[in-house]
Structure 1
């Protein structure tokens, strides 16, 4: 397994126009209709960015997204162009090797204001909504399910896209239609479900259950195309299949050690967040690297810098 000792990237300093800065990604404009999506090693929990990062996390997010883009592009169109690396750095005008392997060149799309969540299991906010109303995003679910039970069929449970400190809110399919139009709503629903079914099948063969995941789409050449990250430990709940046991929370290949530590500290979940101890950083980094290895069958390539 790759070393987790690489210095994490928390900020970016490219001499390009910065279009947006999210909790994890920084978005820069490239010439023409291209964008550079840089996945830093920042990590957030409870909607707060932590003061220290998780080594190699950004590379996992970028390379795993590219893995899925390559395997789904014939079925679901996307805006992906390339991972920035030494071979194409001059073409795109970014030659700092710190950005290689963690940055995606994308075609510019008009982002649709919907988080396209697909759930295969009832957990997280979906479980809370089910307990309160018997439904998730307008999908009525049979009574009697236990926490983390598998759903009979994957559900499209969209939510609004909110900028912090606001939180995403569940949407019904009818609300999505009203927001982006019937044709786009139907396309993102069908494409999200197709992506989930394929991804869940691939992961199941590798001993991972995809409890739920989130996709984002943008309009490009008149149709909704897949953008941003795809089926990563940040956008998905990955559970080890050999430890699956409904009725309680599951172990997962994501930020679980970090969340558990924060809960135990009694932190108020408001900024500023406490500094993460080295053992929490190391265990979280190891989970991201293991998710990448399990899904792709390969170790993460060594960092360029």
Structure 2
């Protein structure tokens, strides 16, 4: 085989077939998650969870604590119109007794957790809109595109944004688990939510800390889906690393192992030698005068 017949072709690197299938599954799972989040958030923003449609205590408390903002939903919430304060005389009649300090009674201290939840829901919708866009782009690019640079860009963008979504979910879970300080009992939930006059419960002393716990677990997507998202981030990152390793290996190989060059013709110093290369039918004949005389004489 002649050297001229050897042709070195640069084959572009691409994502392996099983890695493509993994990316498609991951993108589809993100799309499903975003749709579920949009549906659940839409029910809260459109005031579906009215406490008037509930009979169970914990269902009522969950609605007034997180799911139903009476101010945004224009619900006419009744408040205490008047409160009788007990006034005791401070005359000690010369005795060594401290007088009673009078303070106004408090009925409701509202922290408006539902209002904060509504703002967090709007922020979460914005986060998931971009996550959905990145998942759709990755789903399309990973199926049809073979450009190495585009694949790397899409996978890198999706990876870092998915990590940001996981961090966002964990931070919101920490925020909501802290609400347990305001919901140790059912009565505390009514007091801090502002519905103490509107709603009546069966037992005001029952533990109500389950509500912020459940809210925290929901922000973590039931924990199982959060673990799945973390695993997906690991898979995408490993695919990025494998692509980078193949690029480095190919680059080093091209630098270390150059293609075999074609031989170049050089005039030898000895002009009295008749020579030819293997594969050439016509030998090379020297053209100087001495060689012609020598060849003609020997031939005759």
Shorter chain as denominator, the TM-score bin is under 0.3
Point out the structure with the larger helix share. Answer: 2
Instruction: Tell me the TM-score normalised to structure 1 length.
Output: 0.22
